[in-house]
Amino acid sequence: MDNIYFNGMSFYGYHGVFGAEAELGQRFYVDLALALDLSKAGASDDLNDTVNYAEIFSCVKQIVEGERYNLVERLTARIAEQLLVQFPFREAKVKVTKPNPPINGHYESVAIEMTRRREDFRS
């Protein structure tokens, strides 16, 4: 199986349980590993035989910046679900990093990573 990777996509969203998170918002980082057969595109060199990367980016951006969730877990699941419904991926691995959750302590970030398969989400 082949993969398309998106690394370090950056968006500004308003996700979190606490009022300040919903009001002030913060940066979120998204990484993707998207599994599909790329043999036809590798042979043809034709965009019609693969997926448009800009459309994938736009899909994720719309979810992170256009919707609001209390939990990063739900945000992560929502991205995976929509990618599998909208594109012909067999599997979507999504990692959402929240660099500044309201935790009293020293840490770099908190991240949620989920893997979902096409058979889990039929359009």
Q: 63 vs 2, 13, 18, 72, CA distance in Å?
A: 25, 9, 20, 12
Relative orientation angle of helices 53-66 and 72-86, to the nearest 10 degrees: 150
Q: How confident is the model at residue 54 (pLDDT cuts 50, 70, 90)?
A: very high
User: Could you confirm whether 98 is annotated as catalytic?
Assistant: yes
pLDDT tens per residue, range 25-49: 999 999 999 999 999 999 999 999 9
Catalytic residue among 40, 61, 93, 98: 98
pLDDT tens per residue, range 72-87: 999 999 999 999 999 9
| Domains, the chain | 2-120 (3.30.1130.10)
